[in-house]
Amino acid sequence: MARPADDDDEVDLGISLETVATVVDHIRAVQVTEETDPAQLSEDDNSEAALLQENPDDMTEDSLREFVDGLNEDEQAALIALAWVGRGDYGPEEWEEAVRLAAERNEAGQAGSYLLGMDMAGDLLAEGVAAFGLSIEDVER
């Protein structure tokens, strides 16, 4: 269960909330684009589906994978562990164990591919952060 972050008991996630928020935003954008029905594209050039497909500056899976894989090993492990906490595999009180196991799981340095392979990864990361009484919604972007 979520526990409030006390001033005395501040948790070090090993990654900045800004970085987590960036990853969450980009995962959500990639996953929404993937879920877009191609039949909607021909209906209206101004439809949400068409607008999601046409911006070449949108974060692609490859660029998101590069961004995550470009983070240091501790940050990659923290992202994986946050997703696990968000999914309910671990609680905040098991954070150190989750990070240790995430680092072992990520020895090949494929955190980007791993996270992209998780359903609703953006939501899982946001829920993982929330389990520590923090919010990525409050992070300036």
Give CA–CA dist 138/141, Å, rounded: 9
Mean of pLDDT values over 101-118? 94
- 2: region left, alpha or beta (phi > 0 left; psi from -120 to 50 alpha): beta
The reported pLDDT for the residue numbered 32 is: 76
* pTM to 2 decimal places: 0.77
> By the 8 A CB rule, do 29 and 61 touch?
no
Q: pLDDT confidence of 84, banded at 50, 70, 90?
A: very high
Residue 129 clears pLDDT 70, i.e. is over it: yes
Give CA–CA dist 50/33, Å, rounded: 10
Helix (H, G, I), strand (E, B) or coil at 118: coil
